[in-house]
Amino acid sequence: MCSIFGIFGLQAGDDKAGLRRLALDLSQRQRHRGPDWSGVFVDDGAILVHERLAIVDPAGGSQPLRSGDGQLALAVNGEIYNHRELKKELKQAYEFQTGSDCEVINALFREDTPASFLNRLNGIFAFALWDAASQRFLIARDPIGVCPLYWGHDREGRLCVASEMKALADTCADVAQFPPGHYYDSATSALVKYYDKPWRDYDAVEGVQVGPQELREAFERAVHRQLMTDVPYGVLLSGGLDSSLVAAVAARFARKRVEDDDTSEAWWPRLHSFAIGLKGSPDLAAAEIAAKSLGTVHHGFEYTFDEGLDALPEVIRHIETYDVTTIRASTPMYLLARRIKAMGVKMVLSGEGSDEIFGGYLYFHKAPNAREFHEELVRKLDALYSYDCLRANKSMMAWGVEPRVPFLDVEFLDVAMKMDAQAKMAGKGRIEKAVLREAFEGYLPEGILWRQKEQFSDGVGYGWIDGLKAHAEALVSDRELAAADKRFPVNPPLTKEAYFYRSVFERFYPSPACAETVPGGKSIACSSPAAIAWDASFAAAADPSGRAIAGVHNAAL
C-alpha cells in the first residue's frame, strides 16, 4: 500500500515544470504512506506521483506502472489479491513490465470496460490511470473504501486526486472524498457506481441459509488470499472475537508461502501478533490468552495516558477527521503502528468489518425484525470508509504499516451478506455474532470465542476514554460549547470532547470543504435513524463508548 497523487487536465500553456515541482511537494505530504521509493510521470495532459511502500515485488514494481508501449501510466495504492488468476484469464497479450500485483489493472483496462474489470478485482485499491494515446484518465476506488482517496479542483480547474486530504487541502477549495465502489472516466465525464450487489436488498437474501462450514471456509480463503506478501508481516490481536479469528486462521497458513500455492516454506514462518493498551487493560489480558492458544510470537505493548494525549494532534492530522470514536480508537492504533514499524514489520491483518457484516454492535439487540437488521448492516457497510476503514488505514499508514482486512474481502462479503439476517439476529439469550462464533467452534478458547463485544477504545483501558473526557472538560468552557454552532457551522460538536477534537482538526484543515468530508462528526452507533426508531432512548446518546450502552446488551439477554 502506498500513496498516489495526480493532476489531470493540463493545457498547452501550463507550466509543466512548475506543476511537476508542485505535485512532488504535495505528494511529499503523504510520504509516510510510501517511504520506500518515489516515482513521477509527466505527460502533456497529466502528472502522476507515487510514494511506494514495497510489499509485493519489493525489488521491482516501482510506480507509476507503465505499459510496454509506454502509453499507459498507472499509480495505485493497494493490493490485488487475485492478480495471478486475472493474468491467466486475459484474452489479449500483455507484456508485463514488473511482478507487481497491481499491473494487471493496465492489462484489464486494455481489453475490458471499467465497470466489468473493476468488479473482477478482489483487493483493496485506489488508483489513477492515464492513457496517453487517447488522453483519457480513469480514477477508481475499491468497493468498501478500505483505501482512502480524495479529489478536487485547483484554481485553474484542473482535477487533482490524492490518497490523503492533506495533499489537496491547500490547493482544492472543493476537496471531497472520492466515493467507494465508483469510478470516474474522463471519456464520459461521469462518476459511475460499479459495485452494486443483489444482497443489498433484503428481498434477495430472505430465506437464504449459509451453513457454518460454508461461512468458515469462505473466511479461511479470504485470510489465505491476503497473506500475499514478500515482506515480514503480522496480525493485530486485541483478544476480541474478530482479531482473534483473523489470527487463528492466519496461524494455520503462516508456514507456507501463498505466492507459490503453499508448496514452499514461508520466508517468515512464525506468525507475530501485536496488541496495545493501558496497564491492566482488558485487551492486553485477552490478547495474551489468545496468543498462547495460537502459538504466535506475541508482543503486548503498554502506553500511558500522557503518551496518548501527547500524540493526539498528530493523530488527528494523520487520520483527517474529528469523529469522536475514530480518534479515541486511532490513537492507540497509531502508537502501536510505530512499535510495529520499529520491529521491521510492514503489513498486518486486522479484524475491521465483522461488526458491520454480522450486527456486532450492541444496539443491534433492539432490531425489531430481520429486514431492518439487514438494512442497517448495509447502511453500516456503506459508512465504513469514513470510520473504521479510515481509522485502520490512516493510523497504521502514518508509520508505513499496511493494514489488510479479510472480513471485507469481496468474495467473503458475497457469502456472509447473502445470509438471511434472521440467522444473525441477537437477543433473547443469543449473543451478538453468534452465527460467526458457531462457525469457528474449536478455533479459539471458549473465553475468547464467546467474549462480549467491547469497542477498541474501551478495550485498551477504561482510563483512556475517561481521561480524554476529563481533559476536554478542563479545556473547553460551557460558554464555548454553547456557541459551538457559531464557530463550527458544519457539524457543530455536541460534547466538550468533540469540541476539543474539532479545534485540533481546524488547526490543520480550516476550510469548510475539509470539515464536510467528515459525516456528522460523531460515529455513535445509536445515532443512526434505524437505531433511534428501534429505541427512542438512543436519540439522547452523547457517548459512543461501548460501556455507555452496555445496558442494551445486558437487558437483551
Binding site for L-glutamine, by residue number, is 101
The number of beta carbons lying within 10 Å of the beta carbon of residue 264 is 10
Helix (H, G, I), strand (E, B) or coil at 137: strand
CA of residue 444 relative to chain centroid, distance: 25
> Quick one: cell of 201?
436488498
Residue numbering of the annotated binding site: 101, 236, 276, 350-351
Sign of CA dihedral 433, 437, 438, 439: positive
CA-only gyration radius of the chain, Å? 23
153: cell is 479542483
**For this structure, is 389 an active site residue?**
no
Q: Which of 2, 147, 160, 526 is catalytic?
A: 2
Quote the CA–CA distance of 100 and 518 in Å, as a whole number: 33
Q: 336 with 399: CB under 8 angstroms?
A: no
Quote the Cα angle for 430-434-438, to 5°.
125
Cβ contacts of residue 461 below 8 Å, gap of 6+? 277, 278, 279, 280, 281, 282, 283
**CA nearest neighbour of 493 among 511, 509, 506:** 506
DSSP 141-171: E-SS--S--EEEE-TT--EEEESSGGGTTTT
* Interatomic CA distance for residues 336 and 299, integer angstroms: 10
Known binding-site positions for ATP: 236, 276, 350-351
Q: Which residues contact 369 (CB under 8 A, 6 or more apart)?
A: none
Task: Tell me if 258 sits within 8 A of 246, measured CB to CB.
Answer: no
- Burial environment of residue 192 by CB neighbours within 10 A (0 to 12, 13 to 18, 19 or more): middle
Question: Active-site residue numbers?
Answer: 2
